A and B are shown apart, each in its own frame.
Chain A
Amino acid sequence: MHSTNKVLFFVLAMTTIVALVLSSLFYGLQGRVKINEEVYNKKATLSAIQTKLPKSLDEMTNEEILEIFNNQITQIVIDSKGNEMKPAEVEALGYGGDTAEKLDMSKEKKKPLENRAWPFYKYAADDGQNYYILAVRGNGLWDEIWGYLALESDLKTIAGASFDHKGETPGLGAEIKDNKQFQKNFIGTQIMDANGDYAGVLVRKGGAKNKKYEVDGITGATITADGVTDMIADGIKGYAPYLSGLTN
């Protein structure tokens, strides 16, 4: 009996101390973590227009990133029919906010295409031009992949792209994120085909045939690359009504 009490006391004391220290650490650092998360997501969005930023993203401080986002970015949420959604409608989606960055693309992806909401960012660059950033999400080989496409002010030429993934194979599928050349190849391609329909960009195995509409694939990562093609095609389908509305 005595020894059982001792064990119980020891375990209880230990659990209390550990829980207290950890929870104070957790709540003490929570503010920083929140800011980090916010900046991390904003950085991901901005990475699509890397080349149009005043300086390299890696050299920017948290404050500078927040400043660009606050002053030069306009956030709009649109639906798949081409309408801008009102703040109240966005709030009703249940993501705890009415701005485009609050959208959980992973949850939106599970809805049918015609019911999805899409984030749309307008970036007023220092060179006086407007750039538009679209967010797309799809499936790679193992898990989800996602990316951001930046469009020139003509709304059909890609000004930059960035991709990320949850669990693609390092060295193969993960190259969509790690291989900067792959992302650079998107610059200058058109999301509109020769007939003027919104089509997306094809990642072609074995090398692009027409650099205006295609980019080179990644050796050994055909499925991830096809995932990128499908993801962009799907995304463009969702954005197309709004984009064509803007162009006119």
Chain B
Amino acid sequence: MADTIVAEKKEASFSFGKKERKLLSDPLNDNNPITVQVLGICSALAVTTLFNKALVMSIAVVFVTMFASFFTSLLRNSIPKQVRMIVQLVIIAFLVTVVELTLKAFAYPMYKDLSVFIGLIITNCIVMGRLEAFAMANTPYKSLLDGIGNGIGYGVILLIVAAIREIFGKGSIGGIKLIGPSNEFLIDTTTSSIFGWYEPNNLMVLFPSAMFVIGALIWAHRAWNKKLVDIS
């Protein structure tokens, strides 16, 4: 009897069933870090002018949330209560420094572009928030999944915002030129008869536009997923 329970537990802790899938999928919709939990907005604004920047940032955040959750969960029983916060921060700062050094060595121009915003992943509340809310109370495996889910939920919004801003602001996406006033673009607005009216909207490149785009995303998300509507 006791043996079967242990066996069940063991299986449960490494299987990938409905519960685990929910850990991954929940942050994408019902519990999205940006549009529902409102965490990690700061870095979402500055790096979304270009798609590529947002992509690198998303990967970095997935990496950091994933391993920060994993390590914290691994240590959760031995972390002394008095220094809990600092220990968590040191784990996060350690991972972020690893990301920074890696970028510096393998993607130097990108490192220059992202500048202080890589460092600001530390204070990206998603990471800290998930450690406090989930990793301190769950097994490493589950925490890892939760970390990945939240990292991706954050990344998806980041990429949507970046895509909108880059297409409307610069007429390109990920550096591939789509529409603009010269023959370097796929659709040349100086010769095209259909898209001749198009002009890149500079507002989209400015910081405040990210607020508008995210605001509109939240609006759309809540209009579609009615249970999230703020009734207060």
Residues of A within 8 A of B (CB): 3, 6-7, 10-11, 14-15, 18, 21-22, 25-26, 29, 32-33, 36-37, 39-40, 169-172, 181, 219-220
Chain A min CB distance to B127 (Å): 16
Chain B min CB distance to A46 (Å): 14
Contact with A along B114-153 (1 / 0, CB 8 A): 0000000000000000000000000000000000000000
Q: Given A25-B98, A181-B182, A220-B202, does the pair A36, B87 have CB atoms closer than 8 Å?
A: no
- Secondary structure of the B side of the interface? helix
Please report the C-alpha to C-alpha distance between residue A170 and residue B82 in the assembled complex, in whole angstroms: 43
Do the beta carbons of A33 and B104 come within 8 Å of each other? Answer: yes
Chain B interface category by residue count: 20 to 34
- Secondary structure of the A side of the interface? helix
Complex contacts, B58 vs chain A, CB 8 Å: none
Closest to B205 in A: A171
Complex contacts, B78 vs chain A, CB 8 Å: 10
Do the beta carbons of A22 and B94 come within 8 Å of each other? Answer: yes
Complex contacts, A170 vs chain B, CB 8 Å: 49, 205-207
Do the beta carbons of B104 and A36 come within 8 Å of each other? Answer: yes
Please report the C-alpha to C-alpha distance between residue A29 and residue B107 in the assembled complex, in whole angstroms: 12
Given contacts A7-B83, A32-B105, 12 further A-B contacts (CB under 8 A): A3-B80, A7-B80, A10-B83, A11-B87, A29-B104, A33-B101, A36-B108, A37-B108, A170-B206, A171-B169, A171-B204, A171-B205
Chain B min CB distance to A217 (Å): 14
Closest to A7 in B: B80
Chain B min CB distance to A60 (Å): 13
Do the beta carbons of A36 and B105 come within 8 Å of each other? Answer: yes
Interface residue from A11, A32, A36, A220 paired with B83 (Cβ < 8 Å): A11
Do the beta carbons of B108 and A7 come within 8 Å of each other? Answer: no
Closest to B111 in A: A36
Closest to B97 in A: A22
Do the beta carbons of B49 and A22 come within 8 Å of each other? Answer: no
Q: Given A14-B90, A26-B101, A29-B104, does the pair A40, B80 have CB atoms closer than 8 Å?
A: no
Can you list 27 A-B contacts (CB < 8 A)?
A: A3-B80, A6-B80, A10-B79, A10-B83, A11-B83, A11-B86, A14-B87, A18-B90, A18-B94, A22-B101, A25-B101, A29-B101, A29-B105, A33-B101, A33-B104, A33-B105, A36-B108, A39-B108, A40-B108, A40-B109, A169-B206, A169-B207, A171-B169, A171-B202, A171-B204, A172-B202, A219-B202
